[in-house]
Amino acid sequence: MNDKKADLLQGTLDLLVLKALSLQPLHGLGVSNRIAQISDGTFDVKPGSLFPALHRMEEAGWLKSEWGESENNRRAKFYSLTKAGRRQLEAETEGWERISMAMMSALRAT
């Protein structure tokens, strides 16, 4: 696990949430845990940031939710991607790939 935590850059939270939900529906804590897992512990998304983002993304039509039972038998809201959410994930992934390649090029310039 990476010992260094990183602040989320503007616009990265949406992409990380969409990516976390790309395989299966998850409840809020599951989304947070999945983000930590796929970022090798670099990003630790707190509820105060995550839940407003989930609600905003649901209102935008990228996510849908339904109530279910968590692994510890508690009632939880599970989020999943809509078709629009999958398209958004693809668009944001392409955008971040362009940005990261440009940054790598800039950092390697002499």
Supply the Cα-derived Rg of the chain in whole angstroms.
15
Per-domain residue ranges of the chain: 12-108
Which amino acid would we find at residue 53? A
The pLDDT score that the predictor gives to residue 15 is: 96
The architecture CATH gives domain 12-108? Orthogonal Bundle (1.10)
The pLDDT score that the predictor gives to residue 60 is: 97
The pLDDT score that the predictor gives to residue 110 is: 78
User: What are the φ and ψ backbone dihedral angles of 30, each rounded to 5 degrees?
Assistant: -65, -40
- Give the pLDDT of the chain (110 residues) as one tens digit per residue: 455 565 666 578 999 999 999 999 999 999 999 999 999 999 999 999 999 999 999 999 999 999 999 888 999 999 999 999 999 999 999 999 999 999 999 999 87
The pLDDT score that the predictor gives to residue 9 is: 61
CA 84 to chain centre: 15
The pLDDT score that the predictor gives to residue 11 is: 73
pTM of the model: 0.86
The pLDDT score that the predictor gives to residue 30 is: 96
